[in-house]
Amino acid sequence: MELITSSETLDFLSKSCPRAWVKRMLLWMIFRNEIDAYFLEARSIARTRVFAILLDALKVDAFGPKKDELIREQFSTEMAERLIAANEIDELEDFVEEWEKCEEPQQVSCGYFVYATRTSWEEGTVQATILADDARDERLFWDTDSLLHSEFAHADFDVTLKGLCFEREKIEMLQPNIELPLPTGEHQAERPRLGRPRTWDWESATTHLLTVAQTPDGLPTGPGAQAQIERLVADWFMISTGNTPAASQVRQHVTKILRVLKKPKSS
């Protein structure tokens, strides 16, 4: 399936209507899921206050005498040291996800356009700031969206997307009386093509961790335990598939698993 850039899309559709109208139409069609938006590059950063992280993870012990000890038990070594060194009102950033041109174009949900702080259709870029509550809006974002998953429970996200593209065939259908020129020569090789989306077998990875938990040594415990468990998951993916998810994705799923394991059983 061939993709064309947002700039080419504008040039093609504006042959019969104003560019401003084309932009509005494309935005509405993305929102209505009538066309899919793909990007060649993306970067997401999560932001939250230290006190919010501590309250979520430690509850009533967040500011008690054993705070540092509990922080080291709950978080990876790197994150624990950052939290201990920071003031409670400080804002921490967490790198969430990134993909580059060398990877396959990725489809994104319409919420990035809804919460965009800057959109350039000519450049094919979108910058969006998405607050924690908005990131949970299932009408606008997919629940599997890796750009909005963070170790922070209540994080705001700054997302930058580059290389906006659309499916060539769907754009051609919007103006059937005008032919969209085919790429030639060196431009053909440079044109992005839609490949199979990245998927990771998290269920099997979780099963692997449960298997390790049943061994005599069990899962790692104590300071730095989460980082060791994350390595177990990353190593399992590398052995099983020859590749690994982003470290932020591994951290996100391990954090969820550990929260379930540590959750007190109700009587």
Q: Which string of DSSP letters, residue by residue, matches 154-214?
A: T-EEEEEEE--EEEHHHHHHTSTTSPPPPP-THHHHHS-B--PPP---HHHHHHHHHHHHT
C-alpha–C-alpha distance, residues 204 and 210, integer Å: 10
Q: Are 53 and 132 in contact (CB under 8 A)?
A: no
Q: How many CB atoms lie within 10 A of CB 164?
A: 27
pLDDT for the residue 266: 45
C-alpha–C-alpha distance, residues 51 and 63, integer Å: 9
pLDDT for the residue 23: 95
Count of residues in the chain: 267
242: Cα separation from own chain's centroid: 21
Residues 73, 76, 77, 79: is their CA dihedral positive or negative? Answer: negative
C-alpha–C-alpha distance, residues 36 and 33, integer Å: 7
pLDDT for the residue 261: 66
What pLDDT tens digit does each residue of the chain (267 aa) get?
Answer: 789 999 999 999 998 889 999 999 999 999 999 999 999 999 999 998 888 877 777 777 777 788 888 888 777 777 788 888 888 888 888 888 887 776 678 899 999 999 999 999 999 999 999 998 898 898 899 866 778 887 777 889 999 999 999 999 999 999 888 777 766 555 555 556 554 445 678 888 888 888 888 888 888 877 677 788 888 998 999 898 888 887 767 877 787 777 666 654 444
pTM: 0.68
Q: How far apart are the first and last CA of the chain?
A: 54
pLDDT for the residue 267: 42
Q: Are 108 and 40 in contact (CB under 8 A)?
A: no
Per DSSP bridges, beta strands 41-49 and 91-99 are antiparallel
Per DSSP bridges, beta strands 41-49 and 156-162 are antiparallel
Residue 242: helix, strand or coil by DSSP? coil
pLDDT for the residue 92: 84
pLDDT tens-digit map of 6-23: 999 999 999 888 999 999
> Which region holds residue 197: left if phi is over 0, alpha if psi is between -120 and 50, else beta?
beta
Buried b (16+ CB within 10 A) or exposed e, 187-203: eeeeebebeeeeebebe
Nearest CA among 241, 234, 226, 239 for reference residue 79 = 226
pLDDT for the residue 27: 95
The single-letter DSSP state of residue 60 is G
